[in-house]
Structure 1
Amino acid sequence: MTHITPSDLSILLVEPSDTQRKIIINKLNKEGITEVSTAKNITESIDIIERHPPDLIASAMYFEDGTAKELIKTIKNNEKLADIAFMLVTSEVKREHLEEFKQSGVVALLPKPFTAEHLGAAINTTIDLLSPDEMELDHFDVHEIRVLLVDDSKLARNHIRRVLNNLGLNKVTEAEDGQQAIDLLQDNMFDLVVTDYNMPEVDGRELTRYIREKSQQSHLPILMVTSERNDTHLANIEQDGVNALCDKPFEPKFVKKLLFQLLEH
């Protein structure tokens, strides 16, 4: 496998402020990234992306012609561009405004101002996405592990599937919600469940209860992916039988560590 370094990455920085662009470019340069193109708005950025797709887009939230929400939707809905990593740089702190980005498969949410540590972690996540790194397990053939992936967001499923595939887990069956997952569990055997928490009708917690109390696969390892911040809710989720909790964005290195613990315990 060819090892990718920060200096190999090409980044498109989408930022309306001249001052902010200079500050961020300087920070990227310090991380060893020199191939940086820039855009001031959505229209300009889409033109650049279609002509020269970058490895990573680092985008502000608001522009004169729209928001990062429109930009990420345009990219994710284009099959040729959907795999481009996307990082949001924003001073926004309201959870409801950031939730949609977490659900859309961004590699990182960087606060303004961000630290070198924040940026370094986001760059490493991007490199992990671009560099397949199969897990080596003692008790399983990683290629034979049957995963049930449950999330009501197609964008989130795409991102999580990509991370799982990079780790060598290629047998991934998708469910759009907890009820569809229950239907699949009744007719199919799995080795691992990766599920979102917040879903309509049957959520991740109810799905976990079903698996533990009513299914024929009550000992299935369950990895729950959630942006939930309520400690009481998280404690209740764990009591219901979830084996591990993973935050959104779904970071490859952390996920690899969790899956190794789940499957090799």
Structure 2
Amino acid sequence: MRLDELLVQVIEPSRVQRHIIVDALRQLGIEQIETFDSAAPALTRMSIMKPDIVMSSMHLPDITGTELVTRMRQQPELSEITFLLVSSETHYRYLEPIRQAGAIAILPKPFSRNDLMRALQSTMHYIGDKLREEEDEFFEDMSVLVVDDSGMSRKFVHQILKSAGIENVVEAKDGAEALQFLEERMFDLIISDYNMPNIDGLELVEHIRNYSSQPTVPVMMITSEQNESRLAAIQNAGVSALCSKPLSYDMMKQLIQQLVADRDL
């Protein structure tokens, strides 16, 4: 897929900011761009003509960007649309739900050309892999356990794995349920959230490494955690890779290849 084949929907209340975003997209070769100043007409348009990418501000006149992506994820026909947030917002209360809902990137205001290009390239690879007819032999037989208490996050990770060609995916709503699955079957990779009820990501990794029948299985931890001591504890517990939210499709795919290939050596 080429950039000029993408249909991008831009939702931004500021006329100046809309102009900046549209101009940046056009400079990169994107020709099909639809603009909106609020969420309601954009959602209506999505139901008629589904875009490849939605780029939205956080603070809209009718709802927030968080509410927008949540509504999109709750509608089957809109749930797989790639969502990019463009915002100067830094507050955890606003950004964490966006990360959980599966934004593929959060671009700051102002963003650089390179930031935008990386996000668009990752999106193109994600969409291109979804449309691919032939399965990737590296991924087709892989079995992956996804662990997250957020149903939207599990679904988004599942979509990323499916686009990469991984069909054999099991979902667990927390660490306790994940341990039950680990007793029943073998996995090539575990992708887990950090903050979860009952048994969190750190406790899950510690149990896998010390008490399970699969102590060497690669574990990728997905987290928006910023506390350095907690991150150090995760690494010390034996996590194979730490991946921050929002998830980059290219980074996820590359990490999966590296983790599983290294295990086979």
TM-score, normalised with respect to structure 1:
0.93
1:224 aligns with 2:221: yes
For 2:44, the equivalent position in structure 1 comes to: 47
Write out aligned runs for 1:1-265 (5 A). Answer: 4-132=1-129, 137=138, 142-265=139-262
Q: Secondary structure of 1:253's partner?
A: helix
Q: Distance in 2 between matches of 1:250 and 1:62?
A: 22
Q: Distance in 1 between matches of 2:166 and 2:40?
A: 37
Q: Distance in 1 between matches of 2:152 and 2:160?
A: 13
Q: Distance in 2 between matches of 1:77 and 1:40?
A: 22
TM-superposed deviation, 1:136: 5.1
Q: Secondary structure of 2:70's partner?
A: helix
Equivalent pair of 1:135/1:256 in contact (CA under 8 Å): no
Q: Distance in 2 between matches of 1:174 and 1:7?
A: 36
Give the helix-richer structure, 1 or 2. 2
What's the % identity of the aligned pairs?
Answer: 37
How large is the RMSD of aligned CA atoms in angstroms? Answer: 1.3
Equivalent pair of 2:72/2:79 in contact (CA under 8 Å): yes
Q: Secondary structure of 2:8's partner?
A: strand
Cα deviations across residues 39-89 of structure 1 (Å, max 9, x unaligned)?
A: 111111111111111100000111221111221122111111111111111
Q: Distance in 1 between matches of 2:144 and 2:176?
A: 16
Q: Secondary structure of 1:130's partner?
A: helix
Structure 2: which amino acid aligns with 1:126?
T
TM-score, normalised with respect to structure 2:
0.93
Structure 2: which amino acid aligns with 1:31?
L
Unpaired stretches in structure 1, ≥5 consecutive residues: none
Aligned length: 258
